């Protein structure tokens, strides 16, 4: 009798010990039994439970441990894949009230806005307010200053419209004293850095590029205020000018063509410095769009984009531009006919080599230009890399963790790790097998909250 009693007491003690140790986790959202893509190495961690508390990834636990937890929303992730929200590193948002929801629809949970004719301080402030809330669909917003350019040059010359106003959406560089004042002024804004354009513009009338002394002065003044400079370069010469000034953030790859045997001095400067380089292969594709009706048909079928942006395909200006660009590319590549693969392949080859040498390459589309569509075109950008021969895992890395590193936000964004913001995309198919699978979106989560998409499946 006594021994029975002792046994009961022991069982009770063991029970109390077990239940006392077992942590009951209360999340507001749990994705159960999902395959997590580690974007830093392309590995898949199978069968995990992701517990989200408020806006943060609180725990990641193997599903088969059947931990004691509860949540208001449980999502079954069986046979599905989860990647971090993707990041467009080069955008222009001409109408944020229309465009921001489109980014979210396509899983783009962060964007970097690099100036534009709409970007007054007020416009930036309104966009930032959209980016910090999570009830209305909007990606997180990061942005540069307004454009610093030489008067009469790109982009004001190239994209002429009445919204370019000196002191509001663009600053014309005039002399060194003025540069000092300007850099000091914009450094007080909540910017990621200064947007500086060296190029005079691709079209006549040709003016001189921004001078080396002005480029160097902007960088020197920026350093005093701990502000970075993001530079628009359009060829190897401008790249060299930026590097000579000590600028290490480039917003385009387009126009640069590196010869890895001959450009040794240039490469030495690139490899020896902490470079961030945004890709924008979509620019090349956008120039070709009017010649490929099947591309625009796909856009129509999305049912997301407005008719004016689609109908530009019938505009004679863009058709003419497409033919001129086609002829230039044929000449440049010494080919009788060219395809989009020819146009991107040599650039992807260069980018792969740069990536191997630890250059931080970041995906960007230059959305806001004709035939570059908010959100949708980031998936096109990724597919262009696959077409050019890059492995999906390397492409995903450029669109997630590399972008977060560029903006110094890798402590909170860019990968699926405990303590980071819960910005996630749930996919039906494995993106490591085929990058097109980033389009198999089942759900977009930003800041721990399921986002309303434009067209629910
Ligand atoms: Zn741009």
pLDDT in tens, 13-66: 444 444 444 456 677 899 999 999 999 999 999 999 999 999 999 999 999 886
Task: Give me 308's structure tokens.
Answer: 């004016």
CA distances from 278 to 112, 253, 258 (A): 10, 6, 15
- C-alpha to C-alpha distance for 265 and 259, rounded to whole angstroms: 11
- C-alpha to C-alpha distance for 207 and 209, rounded to whole angstroms: 7
Mean pLDDT of 438-447: 98
Centroid of ligand 1 to alpha carbon of 300 (angstroms): 24
In sequence order, what are the residues at sequence separation of 6 or more whose Cβ sits closer than 8 angstroms to the Cβ of residue 426? 31, 34, 75, 77, 80, 81, 82, 441, 442, 443, 444, 445
Residue 100 clears pLDDT 90, i.e. is over it = yes
8-state DSSP, 421: B
Residue 436 clears pLDDT 50, i.e. is over it = yes
Q: Please give the class, per CATH, of domain 86-414.
A: alpha beta
Which residues hold their Cβ within 5 A of ligand 1, which is an ion? 366
Centroid of ligand 1 to alpha carbon of 368 (angstroms): 8
Q: Where are the domains of the chain?
A: 86-414
Centroid of ligand 1 to alpha carbon of 91 (angstroms): 6
8-state DSSP, 285: H
pLDDT value at residue 13: 46
Mean model confidence pLDDT for the chain: 93
Centroid of ligand 1 to alpha carbon of 89 (angstroms): 10
pTM confidence score: 0.93
Centroid of ligand 1 to alpha carbon of 366 (angstroms): 5
Task: Give me 156's structure tokens.
Answer: 């004001």
Centroid of ligand 1 to alpha carbon of 414 (angstroms): 22
Task: Give me 432's structure tokens.
Answer: 């490591």
Identify the CA nearest to 449 among candidates 142, 133, 126.
Answer: 133
- C-alpha to C-alpha distance for 143 and 119, rounded to whole angstroms: 10
pLDDT value at residue 19: 43
Are 249 and 268 contacting, i.e. CB atoms less than 8 angstroms apart?
no
Centroid of ligand 1 to alpha carbon of 411 (angstroms): 27
Task: Give me 33's structure tokens.
Answer: 């039994």
Identify the CA nearest to 73 among candidates 54, 86, 60, 87.
Answer: 54
Identify the CA nearest to 366 among candidates 436, 450, 312, 285.
Answer: 285
Centroid of ligand 1 to alpha carbon of 394 (angstroms): 23
Centroid of ligand 1 to alpha carbon of 93 (angstroms): 10
pLDDT band for position 3 (cuts 50, 70, 90): low
């Amino acid at each position: 009798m006594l021994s029975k009693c002792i046994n009961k007491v022991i069982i009770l003690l063991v029970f109390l010990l077990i239940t006392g140790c077992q942590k009951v986790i209360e999340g507001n959202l749990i994705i159960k039994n999902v395959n997590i893509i580690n974007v830093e190495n392309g590995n898949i961690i199978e069968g995990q439970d992701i517990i989200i508390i408020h806006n943060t990834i609180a725990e990641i636990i193997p599903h088969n441990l059947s931990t004691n937890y509860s949540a208001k929303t449980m999502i079954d992730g069986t046979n599905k894949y989860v990647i971090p929200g993707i990041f467009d590193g080069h955008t222009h948002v001409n109408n944020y009230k229309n465009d921001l929801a489109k980014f979210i629809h396509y899983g783009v949970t962060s964007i970097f806005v690099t100036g534009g004719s709409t970007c007054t301080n007020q416009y930036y402030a309104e966009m930032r307010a959209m980016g910090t809330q999570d009830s209305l669909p909007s990606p997180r917003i990061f942005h540069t200053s307004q454009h610093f350019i030489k008067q009469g040059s790109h982009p004001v010359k190239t994209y002429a419209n009445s919204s370019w106003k000196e002191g509001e959406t663009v600053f014309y560089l005039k002399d060194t004293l003025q540069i000092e004042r300007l850099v000091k002024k914009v450094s007080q804004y909540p910017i990621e850095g200064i947007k500086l354009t060296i190029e005079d513009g691709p079209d006549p009338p040709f003016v001189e590029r921004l001078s080396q002394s002005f480029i160097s002065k902007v960088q020197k003044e920026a350093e005093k205020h701990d502000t970075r400079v993001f530079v628009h370069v359009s060829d190897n010469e401008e790249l060299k000018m930026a590097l000579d000034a000590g600028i290490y953030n480039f917003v385009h790859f387009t126009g640069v063509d590196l010869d890895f045997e001959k450009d040794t001095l240039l490469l030495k400067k690139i490899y020896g410095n902490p470079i961030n380089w945004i890709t924008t292969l979509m620019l090349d594709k956008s120039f070709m769009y009017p010649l490929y009706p099947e591309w625009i048909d796909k856009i129509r079928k999305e049912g997301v984009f407005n008719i004016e942006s689609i109908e530009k395909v019938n505009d004679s200006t863009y058709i003419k531009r497409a033919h001129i660009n086609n002829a230039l590319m044929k000449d440049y590549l010494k080919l009788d006919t060219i395809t989009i693969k020819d146009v991107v392949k040599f650039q992807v080859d260069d980018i792969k080599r740069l990536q191997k040498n630890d250059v931080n390459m970041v995906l960007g589309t230059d959305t806001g230009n004709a035939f570059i569509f908010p959100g949708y075109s980031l998936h096109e950008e990724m597919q262009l890399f696959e077409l050019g021969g890059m492995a999906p895992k390397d492409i995903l890395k450029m669109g997630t963790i590399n972008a977060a590193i560029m903006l110094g936000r890798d402590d909170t964004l860019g990968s699926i790790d405990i303590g980071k913001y819960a910005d996630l995309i749930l996919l039906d198919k494995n993106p490591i097998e085929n990058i097109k699978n980033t389009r198999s979106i089942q759900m977009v989560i930003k800041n721990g909250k399921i986002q309303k998409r434009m067209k629910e499946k």
